[in-house]
A = this chain, B = another copy of it.
């Protein structure tokens, strides 16, 4: 398996607004969607990770919108793990129109690993690190 991880979906009516295109907060929900699929593809579905004692909360998000995602068109969601810290994960995500490969949006999410019960920060479990390293383009660096 090599980065970026790809997942295809189709823009839903429920995701579009009066401008006839997807409402901009919904692009972040697609960021979330591709990461859920990445976990599954990596062999650690999200519900299983939580049962294993690690949950993720988002600490930071950034997104640049390049062109509009329109109702009913297929889009590709691409995710790459950029950085595995001791307690955090940074991913780059982009969204392309499937038909012509046009870039619609790109951005980053930084997740922090927490204990699902206390919601306190905790180190990335070895299993999580192993799964994510399949989708990492650069050598893993250890950092805060």
Contact = CB atoms under 8 A, between A and B. Distances in A.
Interface magnitude class on chain A: 35 or more
Number of copies: 4
A71 B28 contact: no
B45 A72 contact: yes
Contacts of A62: 60-63
A62 B40 CA distance: 27
A72 B48 CA distance: 11
A52 interface: no
A39 to B, nearest CB: 9
Given A13-B32, A17-B17, A63 B61 contact: yes
Contacts of A58: 24, 65
Contact of A32 (B14, B36, B60, B68): B14
Interface of A: 12-14, 16-20, 23-29, 31-33, 36, 40, 45-47, 55, 57-65, 68, 71-72, 119
18 contacts: A12-B29, A12-B32, A12-B36, A13-B18, A13-B32, A13-B33, A14-B32, A17-B17, A17-B18, A18-B18, A24-B58, A25-B29, A25-B32, A28-B28, A45-B72, A46-B71, A61-B63, A62-B62
